[in-house]
Amino acid sequence: MNKKIFLGVCVLSLLLAGCRGYRTEKAPFHVNPNMDWQPKFKGQQLSLTPPENTVVFGNSSLDTDEQKREQYLKSNTAFYFGKTDKGEWVKKVPVKVDKEFVLRGQERFNIYCGACHDRAGTGQGPVVKRGFAPPPHLSDDRIVAYTDGELFNVISNGIRTMPGYRKQITESDRWAIVTYVRALQQSQRASVTDLSADQKKELK
């Protein structure tokens, strides 16, 4: 066989070897990686913290808006993950809480949580009444004992039969829901001794 033809057949065979023509989970042969193909972390593994002053891939280095950059870097672990830099759950909501913030949490809770938990957090929502497993009452001692960071994590990533909502609900709204859950708990566990003198007079 002519050497040129033989060489051409070999080259063509190598090229065709990279074109499978069917779906596969295996990575294709990448002739010129240019750092596009990086080692990845599998499920249940934490990604590495970006080195200081680096810009995350896809975020323009000319973007000087710190708030936008923070959405990529997520260096504020308390706000984005409900944990301190040492990996401990934050005890209290790491943002300013006012009436508007709690009402926002009520609105988001009714939309995303009420179907299972019902609007009072008793765990008897319409989904449960159709035969699904009931979630716990949000005023149970076990739930009340959660730190705010733990509640945020449950909303974000789910727990047991409850799905996570980190893709549907922003971090700020998740914290707002946490504040509203605390308000629900307080309203259902409060006693007369928790009221001020003026509030007690109103009851009479």
Assess contact for 102 and 183: CB atoms under 8 A: yes
The whole-number pLDDT of residue 33 equals 56
Residue 186: strand, helix, or coil = helix
Q: Count of residues for the chain?
A: 204
The whole-number pLDDT of residue 52 equals 72
Q: How many CB atoms lie within 10 A of CB 148?
A: 20
Q: What are the backbone angles phi and psi of residue 89, rounded to the nearest 5°?
A: -65, 135
Distance CA 42, CA 40 (A): 6
Along the 204 residues of the chain, how does pLDDT read in single tens digits?
577 777 777 777 766 665 555 566 666 565 665 555 555 556 655 555 666 776 655 545 445 566 666 667 777 889 999 999 888 999 999 999 999 999 999 999 999 998 999 898 888 888 888 888 888 898 999 999 999 999 999 999 988 888 899 989 999 999 999 999 999 998 887 777 767 777 777 776
Distance CA 139, CA 181 (A): 9
- By C-alpha distance, which of 119, 105, 187, 190 is closest to 152? 105
pTM confidence score: 0.64
List beta partners, residue 159: 162
How large is the C-alpha radius of gyration of the chain?
26
In which residue are the tokens 């240019």 written?
Answer: 34
The whole-number pLDDT of residue 202 equals 76
The whole-number pLDDT of residue 59 equals 47
Q: How many CB atoms lie within 10 A of CB 93?
A: 21
CA 167-187-194 angle, 5° bins: 135
Q: Which domains does the chain have, with CATH numbers?
A: 99-192 (1.10.760.10)
The whole-number pLDDT of residue 41 equals 56
